[in-house]
Structure formats: C-alpha cells, structure tokens
Amino acid sequence: MREFGFELSLCARLERAGGIVARQLGGAVHAPGSRILDVVHVEPGPAFDERAAITAERIPGPAIEADVSAGKARYWKDAFDLHPDRTRAIVDRAVEVGFFERERRGGREYVRQTTRYPDWFSTITAVENKPDLSNPGDLERQLRFDVALGLVDEVILATESYVTRAHLNRLPEEVGVWRFVNGEREVVREPTALGSNGWGVELGDRHPLRTDVSFVSPDEKARKRRWIAERAYGKGWRVEPPSCVRGSIDEVAGSSVPYCTHYDRIVNPGECGTSCPGYEPGEAPDADLEAERDRKTGWVADPAGRRRRQVGLDRF
C-alpha cells in the first residue's frame, strides 16, 4: 500500500478510538514550514462539548489571544496589536465562524466574544508514517526534531515493516513504535511523554560541522499547540473523491476513503489528472464527508453556536 493509503487507513483506525484526527499539519514554531506532521491525534479535554458548540471551523488564533472578552465589547482596532489590514481579516473571519459578534456605537465598530474560549483539549500525539523502513529517507532527523522541540505530548512511528532491534536503536528512545498491518495495530514500543509545557529546541539548517538551533519558550509552544488543535478540529483527515469516471469511494475501518478502480487502490485525488493513463474527467461520486465525521466523532458539523442578540442591535 502506498504511503497515502497507509495514512488514511491509520487515520480511520485512530478515529475509532475517539478524539480529533487530522493530517499534514505544521509542526514547527519559528520556521513553520520546516516540519509537517503526517497525522495528529488530539485528545478531548473536559470542555470539548463547549468547543464543539461554537463552530465547526477553525477559530483564528489571534482572535482567541485578542484583548476581547464575552463580557465587554472593544473597539476592534484597539483589541489587536497587528496591522489594521491583518486585524480586519481576523475580525471578519472570527465573526464569520461565530466566535465574535459585532455591534456599532457612534459609527464605530466594536466586537466581543460570543462565548469564552474553552480549555477543550488535553494531549496531542504526532504519528510519523513510514510504511517501508527499508527506505527511511530523513526519518531519524524528523523524529529527533519532534523530540527536541517537544511541541506535542507523544511522538509515534507507524510502519508496515517488521521492526528489528536495529531499527529501534536508530530512533530516539522517546519515540513509540506501532506496526500497522491490514488495519490492525501492534504496539512495538510505548512512547515517552515529552514535557510539552517546558522549553524546546527547534532544529534548523544543517551544516558540515553544526546544526542551527533556536530555543522555543513555553508560551510559544502553548500558542502553537492551540493552533494545531484548532487546525485539526477545523480540517479533519477526510479527502474528497476524485473527479474521474474511475473514481469511487471505498470503506476502511468504517470510514469513506477515495478509491480508484483503474489502479484498484486508495488514491490521492491531488494526483489525478491528464498525466494518469486511466484518467477520464467525470463527476466525483457523492460523499457527504461532513455528515460522516459528525456521525462518527464528537465534532459537530452544524452547531447551534453561542451568538447572543444584543439589545438594539437590530437598528444597524
């Protein structure tokens, strides 16, 4: 099975255990694009239902951090220490997803939170997918990056390969290892907690005699962890089927995945196109992935929201 199919199958299996699962999220702080986490599992906290009641979308981080509360409206420009254009975009998005509401006073726009942002998640686990350990690529460095930074609570390697003692010796000892074959998971080694609430070290560019590093504070890590959790909540892991006459939907661990009858396997729709010998444009098969996610998880596709009607607001 190609890595994409392996990844979707693992996501479907993880989702059965509960929590929020997402794919391909940034896992660095100072150089955000330098590390992409294959799969992220977010364990719900005690206030998860409160978060689910606000919006199905990601809430912008700057809106959460802004000097805005549910109890008192603030002039929108005074609530952010950002460029006005950036502030405008954040406010508009926060209103759109139902986390902010607007009111006008004397021709000026004020904003307030529709509800207090809840402490809704607990542990975050990152899973690095490497089905074939005979072709590891930069696997060891990627895992050392995650362990040194300690942004997530646990790091796990998932593979189809038989795991030898030599494989384990090449990996940071904190990294857990799963063997995942035909939907069944074997725990080869349990992960060690990384201490995500402390300082971290982000590995940078490599040189012949050194590796650049930067230190990441607990506050920076906390903001990034919230970004990961929010991004995971809004994004999920499901993928729309390809717009091709040979595209279809298959089921893995009770969840829908994009399938190609030409290749007879799970397929990445992003790779479908004229370069494929089996490609023929057509309507994508019907798949209500939001309804499926709503049905199988604690994520709510169409929450009631927490918007309150302000006295006199209908005058505007």
The residues near 237 (Cβ < 8 Å, ≥ 6 apart) are: 8, 11, 15, 21, 22, 23, 39
- pLDDT at residue number 311: 38
Q: Which of 111-115, 144-148, 302-306 has the lowest mean pLDDT?
A: 302-306
Q: Residue 55's CB: how many other CB atoms inside 10 A?
A: 21
Q: What is the pLDDT of residues 46-58, one digit of tens each?
A: 999 999 999 999 9
Q: What is the pLDDT of residues 198-249, one digit of tens each?
A: 999 999 888 887 889 999 999 999 999 999 999 999 999 999 999 999 999 9
Tokens of 289: 């992935």
- Among 1.20.1260, 1.10.10, 3.40.640, 2.60.120, what is the CATH number of 60-116? 1.10.10
- pLDDT at residue number 304: 84
Is residue 194 within 8 A of residue 175, CB to CB? The reply is no
Report residue 71's pLDDT band, with 50, 70 and 90 as the boundaries. Answer: confident
pTM recorded for the entire structure: 0.92
CATH topology assigned to domain 3-48+119-235: Trna Endonuclease; Chain: A, domain 1 (3.40.1350)
| Domain residue spans of the chain | 3-48+119-235, 60-116, 247-296
